[in-house]
A and B are shown apart, each in its own frame.
Chain A
Amino acid sequence: MSIEAIPVEPPTLKHAGHAAASTLMRRHRLRWWEASPWLAAVAFYFAFPDYLGFGTALLITILFALSLDLALGYAGIITLGHAAFFGAGAYTVGLLAFHGIWTEPITSLVLAALAAAAIGFASGLVLLRTQGLTLLMLTLCTMALLQEAANMAHDYTGGFDGLPSLDIAPVFGVFEFNPLYPDTQYLYTLAVLLVCFVFIRTLVYSPFGQSLTGIRENLLRMHAIGSPVRRRLVICYTISAAIAGIAGGLWAQTNAYVNLSALDLDRAATVLIILILGGYGRLYGAFLGAIAYLALEHFLARIYPSAWQLGLGLLLIFVALYARNGILGLGEDVWRRYRAGRASQ
């Protein structure tokens, strides 16, 4: 039997008109509402000039949560130590600026990304061999290790006190970081977030991103179809680390200081909570989670710290039991029911 005898039909043509196929093909297209976060961010700039410091912190948190979404939401790498990369980026910017080596903000961010990516790559190579509790422990220990190292290298990093009053050069040599009126910080952070977001969005809808989802959903099957699982995971972890490093670098630049809190378990747990609260593996979950969390924290935590903690704990329990896909997941459920209700009428 010759090979030519087997009729080969191009499957794409046959299924082109199928509803599922067209949904899949349209998945990555931009939708009209995707402009709304950016319009809202610009509107925020004009509407709340007194809250630009808060807005900057919010944008940085969104970026950090997005980086975690790539590792946890898309590739399914459960980590409790993502602040390791945030801190690596923050300390890269901080050390360079404090010791007067390099203060140009954009190239500093690139260096922060590279430093965090290097740590992500090195740790990912060994950590991602493991799973479950061991992986959780190893990510936690890596972060604790970095924090202790930063504490130990007191002469360079300032130890517990950190590096205060960093001198950051103006953006493009023109726009200065004014600590009293952080409009430059806000717009600069927003621009960086937009660039990173476009990159992440392109990545998750690329074949590479699809294979990450495949690894999360069914590891065995991805092995079976010959996907280079471990290499993909390491690459994803490295990219995620680089973006977390950029978030950390932004944090150091806009606050003009770095301290050990950049590498804290608190920070790692908070970003995890934010992402899950918003909805992981969904890109916009990071936005919703960060807004909901920071707004609540801003208004509640200062007035009733214990009540805030109690409420947060109860909220987490609720999410774990009933709303595993976060706010976005709840929204999708409601939307689906609404559509189903309309269709049945």
Chain B
Amino acid sequence: MIAGIDVISILLGGLAAGTVLFIVSVGLSVTMGLMGFVNLAHGAFASFGGYIIVLAMNRAHFDFVVALALGFVGTAALSVVFEQSLYRRLYRATELDQVLLTIGLIFVFMAALTIAFGPQSQPLQLPPELSGQINLGFTQYRTYSVFLIVVGFLIVLGIWLGFEQTHIGAQIRATVDNRRMAESLGINVDRLFTITFAFGSGMAALGGGLGAEFLGLDPQYALKYLVYFLIAVSVGGLGSVVGVYYASLLLGTLDFALKLYLPKGGTIFIYALTILLLLWRPQGLFGRKMT
């Protein structure tokens, strides 16, 4: 019976961690799928937004929801500035130039956050209604983890509906599938990209704030978890929201379980699995074949 409870608590903890990963990575998947832009600095937007959210709560004592909204809007606005001034100029450049630009951005963010707030980790103080335990009927578990899992599910449902049901969602799907065709049908791909880029960065900000519990929040954040965000996106498949959701949950659960049972070097299995999977399906689990 104890083993059963163990499995459930690992599963819940892993799903919560995976949900955080999903919220951060989903924007990266869509923007990479749309433009093929290798944006390694996505995590930098997540940490920037996370800082807004955590500091708004800890220092300015804003409400949790208000802080989240602030983080989303602030990061989305900043990302549009960067998109218009820097990213836009390298859409048609080589991957190497894109990698260089975005690594540079990571460094700039890391240095700026260190200079402004110091190298230490910023703790997230949960509102009282989300701290403590909740009775799920079959087990007791941390309220916040359950809250995250539910929120993540609602987000994936919302984005999925948006993709399938709205006009802009249809435009995004068309552009991911065949960009030149979409452009010749009169879809304004550049504007579409700006909108999705802002939305994706805003989501990353939410992930940075909501996930401060799991991933911590310090200036090194963007570089520390870069490999994880990229694994979630490439395993899930570029441009596939549902794919990133599954990949993130899988990755989160595996990581959580391995860190518990094999604290020394257990993550080796994650990398090995990723390599095998990408060799088997270079386009990821749910991605379309790249042309």
Contact = CB atoms under 8 A, between A and B. Distances in A.
A293 B86 CA distance: 24
B281 to A, nearest CB: 10
B205 to A, nearest CB: 20
Given A130-B278, A321-B89, A141 B271 contact: yes
Given A145-B268, A320-B104, A313 B96 contact: no
B110 interface: yes
Chain A interface size range: 35 or more
Interface stretch (A16-24, A167-175, A222-230, A304-312): A304-312
Contacts, number: 131
A134 B234 contact: yes
A317 interface: yes
B97 A324 contact: yes
Contacts of B108: 310, 313-314, 317
Contact of B227 (A154, A265, A272, A276): A265
Given A313-B111, A320-B104, A142 B99 contact: no
A306 B268 contact: no
B100 interface: yes
Nearest to A321: B89
Interface of B is mostly: helix
B80 interface: no
A149 B115 CA distance: 35
Most buried by A among B93, B97, B99, B223: B99
Interface in A286-345: 306-310, 312-317, 319-321, 324
A133 B290 CA distance: 11
B56 interface: no
Given A149-B265, A154-B264, A273 B103 contact: yes
B191 to A, nearest CB: 22
A191 interface: no
B116 to A, nearest CB: 10
Contacts of A141: 227, 231, 271, 274-275, 278
Contacts of B227: 140-141, 144, 265
A317 B264 contact: no
Given A78-B99, A134-B282, A265-B227, A321 B86 contact: yes
Interface of B: 32, 36, 38, 86, 89-90, 93, 95-101, 103-112, 114-115, 223, 226-227, 230-231, 234, 238, 264-265, 267-268, 271-272, 274-275, 278-279, 282-283, 290
6 contacts: A137-B278, A141-B227, A273-B100, A309-B114, A310-B107, A317-B105
Closest 3 pairs between A and B when the two form their complex, measured CB to CB: A316-B104, A313-B107, A152-B265
